Amino acid sequence: MFPVLAPHEIGRLSRFGRPHRYAKGEFVVRAGAQADGLLLILSGEISMEPHETHEKPIVVHGPGQFLGELAQLSGRPTLVDGIALSDVEALTVPPARLRDLLVQEAELGERIMRALILRRVGLLEQNVGGPTIVGHEENRDVLRLQEFLRRNGHPFHRLDPETDESARALLERFALKQSDLPIVLCVTGELLRNPSESELARCIGLSRPLDAAKIYDVAIVGAGPAGLAAAVYAASEGLSVIVLDCRAFGGQAGASARIENYLGFPTGISGMALMARAFNQAQKFGAEIAVPEEATSLEDQSGEDGRCYVLCLASDQSLRARAVVIASGAEYRRLNVPNLADYEGAHVHYWASPLEAQLCAGREVALVGAGNSAGQAAVYLSGIAQKVWMIVRGKSLSATMSSYLIERIEAQPNIEVLLETEVTALEGESGALRGVRLLDRKTGEETAHALEHLFLLIGAAPNTGWLARSGIALDGKGFVQGASLGGGGKHPFETNRPGIFAIGDVRAGSIKRVAASVGEGAQVVAAIHAYFADSQTQRTEPARA
């Protein structure tokens, strides 16, 4: 995590940086402010300290060591303070040159990249840096904000005004009432009242203005396994790439408690860990990732200089690209019961992350679904909840779930599978779920169960509503049509619109597996190169980014 570079390694790194001096007592970096990049110390010492309190340093860096974590890879604001303990001479490597370093100096780049990742993991584990959320544990908006930050790998604190004196002091300081909660206090001192994810992202520096004048080679809509794989391969091959996602990187795979059938991970890996590696890998090769940015429409603005598409965004921004990859995946299906919305977010959940699991500790919960995601969630929750009721409409699990998961479910004494059963009603008041009514489809008998948490993993519908006016052909279920290998457009995965490709779960006929999506992400880049080659032969001067 904190390597000391040898003189010959410093020499190799120096060609990527520029000299910088800091006086004793000077802030080298400030939490919430954008740092200049990776900083290699040549002489002197710098203390890295939590912004909240400077009582105990996280680490003191000396000669041959470097400051930075994953925020410096993408040029985002730093999470901690750095103070010069003496006069310091250093080399600053800006983000663009840092990415060059990681690629051009393989061995040294690997050591630096590993350190950047481990430092972010350490900050997350110790809850150092990031905004403070003030609100009650089971408040749906508190859970929403916490999940957004967690899924984007950003540390945060949560304070409950009922139990924490600091939280009560904040309410008094800003003259706030309980009805104003939740609030978010950013590192910069800005206070937000129940912000949207976009507002929170701007406050912590996660999202930044896009360059409307730039024409990217490839714009990828969706940062799930397919989109991130396409970003890694396209960026590593020299294409200028931007990836959009309306919420967080990782897609549905990122919400998976554990993936055990992905090649190369015999002991399994959490979806978040797998997708975080892909996210960091894409940034290493120079892909620009904009989260949260939601695409609302796709327009053709081709001209004499070549084909160009414009993506309009919910943030009132737009971007242009020579080719577009639709990897927008799927949206979670909702249960068809009248009052479902009353409980979503706080008592009805669409994934089983540590946040939801914490709410369910020692309680009975119900889980609806029979696919692999449902099986993984059931096993994960069984280690935390008192009992897991698994509600399945079908006659067995074998038709929709991998055998290893079925065996594991059968081995858990606190998982009870109810076959040919469905949820008919939710009962509760004031947004608090108190019970679930179940119908036995074999007997017609309806029973009530006292449950406070319900997990819905019943599949997903394609996320293609934003393509309504784009002219992209969709099938009867809303999946992008005609984009299978060798079909549809001229090139593999190409839609009925030249230069627009579809991969992953959003594509009609796709195999809904992480490995399949990753494979399509890799394959589509070859198709994009072929498309560019064809486009170049059709005009004298190719459009350039």
What does the pLDDT look like over 311-342, one tens digit per residue?
Answer: 999 999 999 999 999 999 988 889 999 999 99
Tokens of 525: 């880049």
Model-level pTM greater than 0.85? yes
Q: Return mean pLDDT, the chain.
A: 92
Domain for residue 423, yes or no?
yes
Domain for residue 209, yes or no?
no
- 230 and 295 housed in the same domain: yes
Which among 152, 175, 203 is the end of a domain? Answer: 203
Residue 315, strand partner residues:
none
Res 482: pLDDT: 66
Res 485: pLDDT: 47
- 296 and 347 housed in the same domain: no
* Domain harbouring 62, CATH code: 2.60.120.10
User: Which DSSP letter does residue 137 get?
Assistant: T
Residue 545 has pLDDT above 50, yes or no: no
Over the stretch 394-422, which tens digit does the pLDDT of each residue have?
999 999 999 999 999 999 999 999 999 99
Over the stretch 86-116, which tens digit does the pLDDT of each residue have?
999 999 999 999 999 999 999 999 999 999 9
Residue 483's nearest CA partner among 373, 328, 320 is 328
Number of domains in the chain: 4
pLDDT tier, 36 (very low <50, low <70, confident <90, very high otherwise): confident
Which among 429, 458, 487 is the end of a domain? Answer: 458
- 449 and 370 housed in the same domain: yes
Res 305: pLDDT: 72
Residue 56 has pLDDT above 90, yes or no: no
Report the percentage of the chain scoring pLDDT > 70.
97
pLDDT tier, 35 (very low <50, low <70, confident <90, very high otherwise): confident
Q: Tell me how many degrees the CA angle 256-512-319 measures, rounded to the nearest 5.
A: 85
Residue 530 has pLDDT above 60, yes or no: yes
Res 481: pLDDT: 85
- 119 and 179 housed in the same domain: no
What distance in Å separates the CA atoms of residue 288 and residue 209, rounded to the nearest whole number? Answer: 12
3-state secondary structure of 507: strand
What distance in Å separates the CA atoms of residue 543 and residue 160, rounded to the nearest whole number? Answer: 55
Q: Give me the amino acid identity at 95.
A: P
Res 99: pLDDT: 94
Structural domain that includes position 385: 340-458
Over the stretch 415-436, which tens digit does the pLDDT of each residue have?
999 999 999 999 998 889 999 9
pLDDT tier, 541 (very low <50, low <70, confident <90, very high otherwise): very low
- 480 and 532 housed in the same domain: yes
> Distances in Å between the alpha carbon of 268 and those of 20, 356, 429, 515?
44, 21, 40, 14
- 386 and 354 housed in the same domain: yes
